[in-house]
Amino acid sequence: MSVATNIYLEYWKTMVLSADAVTLIQDRVTFFVFTDAPAAVDDFKKQLKNVEVRAFETLPYRWPDATLLRYQIFDSQIESLNTDLLMHLDADMQFRFNPWDRIKGKIEKDLVCLVEHPGYWRPSGKRLVNLYISHPLLYLRDLRLKLIYGNIGAWERNHSSKAYVKKAKRKKYYCGGTWFGERIAIGKLIRKLKQDVVSDQKQNLIAIWHDESHLNKWATENNYGIETPELCFFEKYKHLNELTPVIVAVEKTESTR
């Protein structure tokens, strides 16, 4: 599932082409895209060999609405997303390797799997010590965040927002760009977070990191699986060098606002 309106449709096309190149046809993968240009998608999908595409028309949202409203957008067609597993991907991703066996192996009944944010993931044990020795400024930044905010991450700190996370519950921080799970569990997550976003909107509130803030609040109240940033990799982060990038968040070269 992706929202791809305006310039994001071009990023999405690149992502799907990269997925088509690494996917085996027996994996039976369908990309559901919510876009303001469904006719362009119908023309684009003719060149695909190993993945399928289905387009749903939506308004030409720009940032931040295209990200903030994604739960409402997905919920509008949730009954049509009729696959066993559902995965959300930001439109500006690219595939380096085939992830589908790995993803299927992570799924448990009624469970959502979240991906640790690449900016806030840290190795453990001696590897963490070595990381901080090599990058003392990173250590100082992390220490400051832990002292002031309870842990490294970018949680919502406005008590009035439905996305607010108490300091004591700020453990791991997850990215909004990739999450997946069994279809019924994903439907429940989408409906809950849609309600929370609408509640904030009624108070003229927007969480600090939009849909991602609400996802991280959800994580403090529910059970879920955890994946490493290999499924939402950012190549400029040196602390990720021990991981193998599978799905990569690309740098945008054009204005998306």
Ordered structural domains, the chain, with CATH: 2-249 (3.90.550.10)
Q: Say whether pLDDT at 254 is over 60.
A: no
The model's confidence at residue 9, banded by pLDDT at 50, 70 and 90, is very high
* 8 Å CB contact between 145 and 152: yes
From CA 119, how far away is CA 144, in angstroms rounded? 15
**What average pLDDT does range 33-60 have in this prediction?**
96
* 8 Å CB contact between 185 and 193: no
Task: Render the burial of 104-131: b for 16+ CB within 10 Å, e for the rest.
Answer: eebbeeebbbbbbbbbbbebeeeeeeeb
pLDDT in tens, 177-188: 999 999 999 999
Q: Which pLDDT does position 251 carry in this prediction?
A: 80
Q: Say whether pLDDT at 255 is over 70.
A: no
Token digits of residue 10: 């071009």
Closest CA to 217 of 160, 257, 256: 160
Q: What is the mean pLDDT of the chain?
A: 93
Token digits of residue 255: 């204005």
Q: Say whether pLDDT at 257 is over 60.
A: no
pTM for the full predicted model: 0.93
Q: Say whether pLDDT at 250 is over 80.
A: yes
- Please report the DSSP string for 171-209 in residue order: ---EEEEEEEEEHHHHHHHHHHHHHHHHHHHHTT---TT
Q: In a 3-state reduction of DSSP, which class is residue 134? A: helix
pLDDT in tens, 59-94: 998 888 888 999 999 999 999 998 999 999 999 999
